[in-house]
Amino acid sequence: MQKLRVASFSVSVDGFGAGPNQSLENPLGVGGEELHKWFYPTKTFQQNVLGNSDGTTGVDNEFAEKGFENIGAWILGRNMFSPYRGLPNINWKGWWGENPPYHVPVFILTNHERESIEMEGGTTFHFVTDGINAALKKAFESASGKDVRLGGGVNIIRQYLKAQLVDELHLVVSPVILGSGENLYLNLDLKSLGYKCIKNIPSDKAMHLIINKSIST
């Protein structure tokens, strides 16, 4: 059965998944890059994102690798795709260059219509204006029976959690306090929504938490 999965999503000790004031210079918000220091050295990031031949192995890389296994499509919020607000900048094709690291269809939730963008390496960006359920339906249909990965940002993950549509949530708690930004836990009662932490595994740089929907719900 297909699943909607959040994988390798980094949050600070105080629950922020992005820093404040996202911009072209600070795509993750001010201080947001600190959340991902566990990920940057890994073999998965170095090879899949940067195209390098090296990278670290171990617990962090094992989780990073699992995040890409059996993924047939992605869902992203608009802020994960672009720093621009309001009407889209039609010349903007994402943060990742001509060959983004997805290699599958990517569905971007937005308020503004835009033609799909076909990139190198099998990535096609589709823009969805009719809500989270429509995006999930299209993503499942495009995934050829595989799972769909919900990449963020914080607001989009929170919407899918509140709708009880996320099957598995892999959070990575980084030893950083941001103090402000986008807080994943704001007005979110995971316990009442039927979610339970089933596993916690530490690494040298972070704590990995696996949260699933409870069988009883």
**Any idea what the CATH number is for the domain that residue 105 is in?**
3.40.430.10
Asked, for residue 21, whether it belongs to a domain, the answer is no
Asked, for residue 73, whether it belongs to a domain, the answer is yes
Asked, for residue 107, whether it belongs to a domain, the answer is yes
Asked, for residue 92, whether it belongs to a domain, the answer is no
Domain of residue 143 covers 4-16+29-84+98-213
Tell me the pLDDT tens digit for each residue of 106-156.
999 999 999 999 999 999 999 999 999 999 999 999 999 999 999 999 999
Strand partners, 199: 210
Asked, for residue 193, whether it belongs to a domain, the answer is yes
Asked, for residue 89, whether it belongs to a domain, the answer is no
CA distance 53 to 47: 6
Asked, for residue 63, whether it belongs to a domain, the answer is yes
pLDDT value of residue 215: 58
What single-letter amino acid sits at 201? I
Asked, for residue 209, whether it belongs to a domain, the answer is yes
pLDDT value of residue 145: 97
Report the domain count for the chain.
Answer: 1
Q: Does 98 score more than 70 pLDDT?
A: yes
Closest CA to 76 of 144, 123, 29: 123
pTM of the prediction? 0.94
Query: Do strands 195-202 and 147-152 pair parallel, antiparallel, or not at all (unpaired)?
Result: unpaired
Calculate the CA 45 to chain-centre distance. 14
Average pLDDT over residues 10-34: 94
